[in-house]
Amino acid sequence: MTSPTPTTSPSASTKPHALWGGRFASGPDAVFRAINDSLPFDWRLVRQDIAGSRAWAAALGGAGVLTAAEVAELDAALVALDAEAAALPGPPVESEAEDVHTWVEQKLIAALGPLGKKLHTGRSRNDQVATDLRLWTRAAIDERIGELVELQRALARLAERELAPEGDADNPTPFPGYTHLQPAQPVLLAHWALAHVEAFARDADRLTDARARLNRCPLGSAALAGTAYPIDRDAIARDLGFDAPTANSMDGVADRDFAVETLAAAALCATHLSRLGEELIVYSTREFGMVEMEDAVTSGSSIMPQKKNPDACELLRGKAGRIIAAHTGLLITLKGLPFAYNKDLQEDKEPLFEGLDQLGLCLRIAARVIDGCTFDRDACRRAALAGFANATELADYLVERGVPFRDAHEQVGALVRVALERGVTLEDLTLEEIRARAPKAGEEVFARLTLDATLAKRGVVGGTGPGRVRQALEATKTRLG
């Protein structure tokens, strides 16, 4: 049996590959390069790659593989390269390098000659890329957490403004509370704002959790089996700000859980932003008329002169789809992969970058939108009162008068029907009308049906009673510093 002759496609380059030319008769095919090269997108890891390379050079020095003079020379060249890379506007398109790790190595070799060729001793692009990506994700998490804090601060400012409105400080702005988007019970606008703060606080917590698990250093795992040199992995981890080295070299290069977890937190945060955006879209319609967004975050129509469209909020809703897709897409990339490294893993970068970039944009615009929202207090009050939102309050009042809740519910339901037939609110009914369906009702029932009375009753922990909301706001402000 004869072994098949290796073929060379007509578009293959005759120039051998820079990293593994030795074993190959031809260079890569042009289409192969188009699918295989990652420099156009992994260029974003260049600073991390250089930082990791500096740490690796120092570790090789510590292991006695390089002399102190060689380490110093490599380090100086890497520092210079870092400045050069930072000054470039984007990926160096003229470069032959297939990825960012190759680019860094080629530049070092060009600058230092044979010494540049020593840096890759005992390391692999597999542990390199795993390290770079962790460093990048860690920095992105820190930025997103900062933006989450700013967004929570904007919501807390809104709560503060509406708890003691200018010129009417004793009358916190009421707001309609909905279930099924049908009027349910009145709340305070500040309570609504702080509800969203809770969700964003959990998002920040989740990112913080992900960051803690992420903060392990894969360098020293090499291709998959662990480096053959006596590298001090604790020292190199510390050097790069990691808490410890990864515990298993195969896991070290195969694991992308940190990216999945971070994107999961991002997807959930994007979902929260989308829900907030949707609410503002609805509440700013002419039909609801409760809030107006600033011109600077809305757009007009090219044909309809009267239009003011809530584009920023619509994009909060729309971008959530992409961010969720980034998370889902990465999981799908990972699910069939045998250990340890596979080239599929190169597909981790674009969703990770995209998901976290888009989330950053969403968080920044959301804070901007909230700061610029003007709530129409009269419209909010009208909406808070509308739709028999005090019906539960009337039932609770009857319970106080000794009526079992289920009976009270029935009686109030009947009163709602009477009011609907007459086209009035519950408090517009006469005492006789009320007593006809709810015999235990007394004169004081009307006082109990006011908006203020309804709100004041809800002083339970986590409730919308004004005193409780003031406490919640203070706690939030203390937490946010």
Binding segment for ligand ARG (CB under 6 A), chosen from 153-161, 341-349, 365-373, 382-390, is: 341-349
Q: In whole angstroms, what is the distance from residue 441 CA to residue 430 CA?
A: 11
For the record, the structure tokens of 37 come out as 């090269």
| The only residue of 43, 50, 61, 126 in contact with ligand ARG, by rule CB under 6 A | 126
* Active site annotation includes 301: yes
Task: Supply the minimum distance, in Å, between the C-beta of residue 21 and ligand ARG.
Answer: 15
Closest distance of CB 141 from ligand ARG, Å: 20
Left, alpha or beta for 294 (phi > 0: left; psi -120 to 50: alpha)?
A: beta
φ, ψ for residue 175, nearest 5 deg: -150, 145
Does the protein bind ligand ARG through residue 345 (CB under 6 A)? yes
Q: Which is nearer to ligand ARG, 120 or 377 (CB)?
A: 120
Segment near ligand ARG (CB under 6 A), from 55-63, 125-133, 379-387, 400-408?
125-133
Contact between 42 and ligand ARG per CB under 6 A: yes
Rounded to a whole number of angstroms, the minimum distance from the CB of residue 193 to ligand ARG is 42
Place of tokens 């990791």: 52
Q: For ligand ARG, how many residues bind (rule: CB under 6 A)?
A: 10
Q: Identify which of residues 135 and 408 has a Cβ nearer to ligand ARG in the complex.
A: 135
Partners of 183 in the beta sheet? Answer: 178
Pick the closer one to ligand ARG by CB: 76 or 225: 225
462 vs 218: CA distance, rounded Å = 44
Rounded to a whole number of angstroms, the minimum distance from the CB of residue 124 to ligand ARG is: 7
38 sits near ligand ARG (criterion: CB under 6 A) = yes
Q: Which of 9, 13, 301, 302 is catalytic?
A: 301
The residue (of 82 and 99) whose beta carbon lies closer to ligand ARG is 99
Q: Which residues of 326-345 are buried (b: 16+ CB within 10 A; e: fewer)?
A: bbebbeebbeeeeebbeeeb
Cβ closest to ligand ARG, residue 98 vs residue 147 = 98
Under 8 Å between Cβ of 74 and 108: yes
Read off the amino acid at residue 130.
A
180 is catalytic: yes
DSSP annotation string for 107-154: HHHHHHGGGGGGTTTT--HHHHHHHHHHHHHHHHHHHHHHHHHHHHHH
> Which amino acid is it at 47?
R
The answer to whether 383 and 312 have CB atoms below 8 angstroms apart is no
Cis before 154? omega within 30: no
341 binds ligand ARG (CB under 6 A): yes
Report the nearest approach of ligand ARG to the CB of residue 78 (Å).
19
| The one segment of 7-15, 195-203, 211-219, 337-345 that binds ligand ARG by CB under 6 A | 337-345
Q: Which stretch binds ligand ARG (CB under 6 A): 273-281, 304-312, 343-351, 413-421?
A: 343-351
Stretch that binds ligand ARG, among 265-273, 309-317, 342-350, 386-394 (CB under 6 A): 342-350
Answer for which of 99, 239, 261, 279 binds ligand ARG (CB under 6 A) is 99
The reply on whether position 346 binds ligand ARG by CB under 6 A is yes
Closer residue to ligand ARG, CB minimum distance, 38 or 48: 38
Q: What is the DSSP string of 156-225?
A: HHHHHHHHS-TT-TTSPPEEEEEETTEEEEEEEHHHHHHHHHHHHHHHHHHHHHHHHHH-EE-TT-TTTT
Could you say whether residue 412 binds ligand ARG (CB under 6 A)? no
Structure token pair of residue 365: 């615009």
Q: Provide DSSP, 11-72.
A: T--SSPPTTTGGG-SS---HHHHHHH--HHHHGGGHHHHHHHHHHHHHHHHHTTSS-HHHHH
Q: Which residues are catalytic?
A: 180, 301
Give the binding site for ligand ARG (CB under 6 A): 38, 42, 99, 125-126, 129, 341, 343, 345-346
